[in-house]
Amino acid sequence: MTFETLLFEKKIGYAIITLNRPDKLNALNNQLFSDLSQAVSLIADDTEIHAAIITGTGSKAFAAGADIAELHEQDDLSGVEFSKIGQRVFDAIEHLGKPVIAAVNGFALGGGCELALSCHIRFAAANAKFGQPEVNLGILPGYGGTQRLSRIVGSAKSAELILSGMIITAENAEKIGLVNSVHELSYLMEFAEKFVQTIVSKAPLAVYAALQSIVASKELSPEEGMNFESRKFGEICGTDDFKEGTKAFLEKRTAVFSGK
C-alpha cells in the first residue's frame, strides 16, 4: 500500500509508519491525517501485524506540528472540525488495541508531540525536542494535547509546558516521564524494532488484552477498571496460548504461541 504523505512498511509481525513530508518537517496536514487514518485501519485489520512503530523521515523532525498554512485558514466554526480530525486519528491510535511505539527522531512540536502522546510508548533520539508551542501562534493544543499531556506528566508540568510554549530536550522529556528512554539517533530505530520484536514474540491476545486494560485505566473508575481487567483475564484464560504458555513453563520448554 502506498500513501502520499507517509511510508508504510510491513515487517514480520509489525508495521513501521514513517511520516514523509520532509520539506515541511512532517507537518500534519489534511492529507497526512487521511493517510495516517488509513494506515491505522490497515494495521487494525491485518491479523499478521501485532504492533507498530511511528517515526518521521530524516534526522530533523518527527513532526513539527499541525500544518500552519492550513491552520491559518480556520475560523471559530471550522476550527472545531479541524481539531476533531486530529483527535479522531489520535484516538484511533490510542484505541487501536495493538501496541504503537513512537520513535521520536527530532522535533515533536504541537500536533507532533500530541501524536507521540497518543502512542503507548515513546522512545526518543537524543536530538529530539518536545513542546506544545501553540500559544506562540495564538491557539491552544487541539489534538488531545491538553488531556493526554496532563495525564502523562501531571497537570502542573502540562500547564508549565502548554502555557509557556517552552520546548524541552529529550533528556528533560525523559526526566518528566514524557518519554520512556533516550537513544542516539543512529540507534533509535534499531532499539525500537528490537523492543517491538520482543512484544510480538509474546502471546498476541494476552498483549492486546493487557494493552486494552492499560488504556481503559485512563477512562474507567478504579472499580470499573478492576472489573475490566478481570473480564480480560477470564477471556485470556480461554485461549490456546494461555494453555500453551503455562504448559510450556511446567514442562520446562519454550512456549510456541499460535495467536489463538
Give the x/- contact pattern for ligand COA in 14-43, rule: CB under 6 A.
----------xx-x----------------
Give the Cα-Cα-Cα angle 33, 194, 50 (nearest 5 degrees): 50
Q: In this chain, which of 99, 110, 145, 204 binds ligand COA, going by CB under 6 A?
A: 110
135 forms part of the interface with ligand COA (CB under 6 A): no
Instruction: Tell me how far, at minimum, the Cβ of 211 lies from ligand COA, in Å.
Output: 29
Q: In this chain, which of 134, 174, 229, 241 binds ligand COA, going by CB under 6 A?
A: 134
Instruction: Tell me how far, at minimum, the Cβ of 62 lies from ligand COA, in Å.
Output: 10
- Residue (132 or 239) nearer to ligand COA, CB: 132
144 forms part of the interface with ligand COA (CB under 6 A): no
For residues 157 and 210, give the distance between their C-alpha atoms in angstroms, rounded to a whole number. Answer: 28
For the chain, helix (H) and strand (E) counts, in that order, are: 11, 10
Q: Which range touches ligand COA (CB under 6 A), out of 9-17, 62-70, 115-123, 224-232?
A: 62-70
68 forms part of the interface with ligand COA (CB under 6 A): yes
107 forms part of the interface with ligand COA (CB under 6 A): yes
For residues 115 and 192, give the distance between their C-alpha atoms in angstroms, rounded to a whole number. Answer: 17
Q: Quick check: is 114 catalytic?
A: yes
106 forms part of the interface with ligand COA (CB under 6 A): no
- Tell me the C-alpha to C-alpha distance, in Å, between residue 13 and each of 75, 166, 248: 43, 38, 22
- Residue (101 or 108) nearer to ligand COA, CB: 108
Q: How big, in percent rounded to 5, are the helix, strand and coil portions of the chain?
A: 50, 15, 30
Q: DSSP letter string over 76-141?
A: TTHHHHHHHHHHHHHHHHHTSSS-EEEEE-SEEETHHHHHHHHSSEEEEETT-EEE-GGGGGT---
Report yes or no: 11 and 50 within 8 Å, Cβ to Cβ: no
For residues 65 and 152, give the distance between their C-alpha atoms in angstroms, rounded to a whole number. Answer: 19
145 forms part of the interface with ligand COA (CB under 6 A): no
Catalytic residue among 81, 134, 219, 235: 134
114 forms part of the interface with ligand COA (CB under 6 A): no
Report yes or no: 47 and 204 within 8 Å, Cβ to Cβ: no
Q: Which residues are catalytic?
A: 114, 134
What are the residues binding ligand COA (CB under 6 A)? 24-25, 27, 64-69, 71, 107, 109-111, 133-134, 137
